[in-house]
Amino acid sequence: MSSTEKVRVRFAPSPTGYFHIGGARTALFNWLFARRHDGVFVLRVEDTDKERNTPEYLNLIYESLRWLGLDWDEGPFAGGDCGPYLQSERGDIYRAHLDKLRAAGRVFEKEGALFFRLEGERHTAYDEYHKAEIEKVKSAPVVIDDMIRGPVERVEERDFVLVRSDGEPTFHFVNVVDDITMGITHVIRGEDHLSNTSKHLHLYAALGAAPPRFAHLPLILKDRAHGQGKMSKRDKGALVEEYRARHYLPAAVRNFLALLGWSPKDDSEVMDIGEIIERFRLEDVQKSPARFDEKKMDHINFEHLKRLPTETYAWCARPVLDAAGVAGDDVEEDYLQRVLALCQEKVDSLANLPDFCAYFFTDDYREDEKARKKTLGKPDAAQTLAEVTETLEAVPAAGWNAATLGAAFESLAAAKDNKPFAWWPLTRFAVSGVAAGPDFLPMLEVLGRERVLARLNRLRGSLA
RNA sequence: GUCCCGUUCGUCUAGCCAGGCCUAGGACACCGGGUUUUCAUCCCGGCAACAGGGGUUCGAAUCCCCUACGGGACGCCA
């Protein structure tokens, strides 16, 4: 490719299963490269496996890519000059290219399938892997100039299938034909394709086309606890869909995925997408495989959550709270934001938010048994409760704020010759049912005088 | 079995290409301590790695070779 040629990359998923993290990472790196170089990101669907493709899986791919914010410039829905973008609709194009190969004398038929003929000396030998006598070809070595790994030399030694006996073209063939006809300049894909690339290079040569640059990404391995090998759709935490369902921020998932195999080379970790695009370089991608670490993913997610403006945080939280039955449309935006302002820096995930803040919205909240024992178990609990109630009742509605409440506890403490926070744990339990939560005084303020006093009295009543 | 790729703390990584600045830095996790309550925040501290062996060199995590280990591919799957 010439240096002035516009970058064109593609993500070419096959809708034969759930969309998983590995695929998402490949899509992300292609997208980042395209955005970084002001290029074009093409989405092409490799649906040549009629046996296993389903429309549901295809939809999941679209939805997951959209959720991650990986918008494609050409492809299904987006259109483009190189369509159609579903391989199942590109039969004519494949036939035309097959004719080219035929004319070049590189196609032969065997058992109803069409094979690509390698050039070179042939011999038969027993193959330990296939446990059979097979024909091998001494073809010329090809060199893959990989942008991540450097030059990789490989010798292809077996003819391979171009068109199956059922008439469907195979991956190797359509992949190369599409990359040529779609003007793809850089092929960025998983390392599992590295050894396929030599086949592809033979095809480019036979079709008289200049090959694109290649970049083979390290694979994502399973967590050790989940066994050996590359991550598969069946592994815990493997599905993009799962992160969406658990209310992770797409920005965080993107950020984490970018860090899986790529590094900005300084200590930056939490980055917005603009910064990632700006700093992304294929040359800085790791050569060795990475293991998926859910804890780190959670951490990145929390960091992104904390950085959100409260209004945005509230916008993200509302549907989650609603779905959990904690706060519906009837909750005022102002109150919601005041509550969330207290919770945002404390709660590590949106999934945990409803449980954390339910008592702000309902009187019928869950009570923590341990917290009850810890606070009410004390011999002077009733007395403490009475003192708090009396103190807080003396604070007028007009002056009900963290500062005034703090002062009220101060004077109570002074009168009883104790620290103000001697009354806090029990009060917290009385108004929230738990031992932990947002900062105490602001929590009382936001909860409001009415709720606080009602709950204190309710608890006192239940003790009597 | 053959071929290809890889190997820095438990994990993600910086450093390696341009050898000395590395008694190897950061982050997650974990452990300990602290914070006006809170075994979900925050702060401080700690633990912990150059796979092994040769070589080159005044000097190697960094360059070369071998071994071991890990991963991938070897499908009329993609």
CA-to-C1' distance for A307 and B41, Å? 14
- The predicted-structure confidence for A53-97, as pLDDT tens digits, reads as follows 999 999 999 999 999 999 999 999 999 999 899 999 999 999 999
Q: Which tokens belong to A141?
A: 């070595």
SS (H, E, C) A267-328: CCCCCCHHHHHHHCCHHHECCCCEECCHHHHHHHHHHHHHHCCHHHHHHHHHHHHHHCCCCC
Close Cβ partners of A131 (under 8 Å, ≥ 6 residues apart): none
Q: Is the CB of A182 under 7 A from strand B?
A: no
**Which SS3 state, helix, strand or coil, does residue A158 take?**
coil
Asked whether residue A94's C-beta has any atom of DNA/RNA strand B within 7 A, the reply is no
C-alpha to C-alpha distance for A421 and A425, rounded to whole angstroms = 7
Which helix (H) or strand (E) segment holds residue A58: the answer is helix A55-68
CA of A163: nearest nucleotide by C1' is: B76
Q: Annotated catalytic, A306?
A: no
The stretches in chain A having pLDDT less than 70 are 1-4, 464
How far does the CA of A455 sit from the C1' of B38, in Å?
19
Instruction: Evaluate if the CB of A110 falls below 7 Å from strand B.
Output: yes
What is the model's pLDDT at position A1? 45
The residues near A383 (Cβ < 8 Å, ≥ 6 apart) are none
Structure-block tokens of residue A261: 């195999």
CA A40 to C1' B45, in angstroms, rounded, equals 49
Given the residues A100, A230, A233, A346, the one annotated as active site: A233
Q: CA angle, A106 as apex, A102 and A109 as ends, to 5°?
A: 80
Q: Residue A192 half-sphere exposure, CB side, CA atoms within 13 Å? A: 11
What pLDDT does A32 receive? 98
With a 7 Å cutoff on the CB, does A284 touch strand B? yes
Q: Is the CB of A198 under 7 A from strand B?
A: no
Is any atom of nucleic acid chain B found less than 7 Å from the CB of residue A435? yes
List, for residues A93-131, the tens digit of each pLDDT value. Answer: 999 999 999 999 999 999 999 999 999 999 999 999 999
Answer for A317: CB within 7 Å of strand B: no
Nearest to A123 by CA among A112, A139, A109, A144: A139
A255 touches strand B (CB under 7 A): no
Buried b / exposed e along A127-144 (16+ C-beta atoms within 10 A): eeeeeeeeebbebeebeb
Pairing mode, strands A132-139 and A213-217:
unpaired
Quote the mean pLDDT of chain A. Answer: 93
Q: How big is chain A by its Cα radius of gyration, in Å?
A: 31
Give ipTM to 2 decimals.
0.94
d(CA A327, CA A314): 11
pTM for the model: 0.94
Judged by C1' against the alpha carbon of A287, the nearest nucleotide is B6
Which bases of chain B are under 7 A from a protein CB atom? 1-8, 10-15, 25-29, 36-42, 70-78
Residue nearest to nucleotide B10 (CA to C1'): A224
Is A266 in contact with A83 (CB distance < 8 Å)?
Answer: no
Burial of residue A12, with CB atoms counted within 10 A of its CB: 0-12 exposed, 13-18 middle, 19 or more buried: buried
Residue A311 CA, nucleotide B71 C1', distance (Å) = 45
Q: How far is the CA of A230 from the C1' of B20 (A)?
A: 39
Give distance CA A137 / C1' B6 (Å): 28
